[in-house]
Amino acid sequence: MRTINYITTRFPLNILMALIVISACPSLASEPTQAITLTLGGYHFTPDKFEVTAGQPVRLTLTNTDTITPHNLIMKNEAAGLNIDIDVSAGKTSIVEFTPTTPGSYTFYCSKKLPFMKSHQEKGMEGTLTVK
Ligand SMILES: [Cu+2]
């Protein structure tokens, strides 16, 4: 009786642990999302370079760490599956999803600009996406 009890109480736990291992293994997912996080602040993207794999969805999480300055992220190359134009208000987070289709290097930047001032891009707010 003792042995049977041991088996019946342990078996579901083993299944549960196997399921946890399977769900934690990204290679078994059909279309893994590539999660990238950038901060926008001080006229800089941090990091200002990141790399993703062509044909896999990307989730880009953008957090503006400035207290009053709004920013955005522009990255346009429709032939390569890139058509991003997203605002990130001061102190806020925006999320954008896209699937890059074509390996290469692509520039992204912030297009914000006050009248008579340099644009944020001219102040250094740009970066490079590498699609492999
Ligand atoms: Cu900006």
Residue 26 Cα to ligand 1 middle (Å): 34
Give the pLDDT of residue 7.
45
Q: Is residue 1 part of a domain?
A: no
pLDDT band for position 32 (cuts 50, 70, 90): confident
What is the rounded (10 degree) CA torsion for 119, 77, 132, 63? 40
Q: Is residue 20 part of a domain?
A: no
* Average pLDDT value for the chain: 86
Q: Is residue 112 part of a domain?
A: yes
pLDDT band for position 36 (cuts 50, 70, 90): very high
CATH of the domain at 39: 2.60.40.420
Residue 40 Cα to ligand 1 middle (Å): 7
Residue 6 Cα to ligand 1 middle (Å): 62
Q: Is residue 17 part of a domain?
A: no
Residue 53 Cα to ligand 1 middle (Å): 26
> If we measure between CA atoms, which residue out of 91, 81, 86, 92 comes closest to residue 129?
81
Q: Is residue 4 part of a domain?
A: no
Determine the structural domain holding residue 81 and report its residue range. Answer: 31-131
Whether residue 73 is predicted with pLDDT greater than 70 in this model: the reply is: yes
Residue 67 Cα to ligand 1 middle (Å): 12
Single pTM value for the model: 0.76
C-alpha span between 54 and 56 (Å, rounded) = 6
Residue 16 Cα to ligand 1 middle (Å): 47
Q: Is residue 126 part of a domain?
A: yes
Report how many domains make up the chain: 1
C-alpha span between 10 and 1 (Å, rounded) = 14
Q: Is residue 26 part of a domain?
A: no
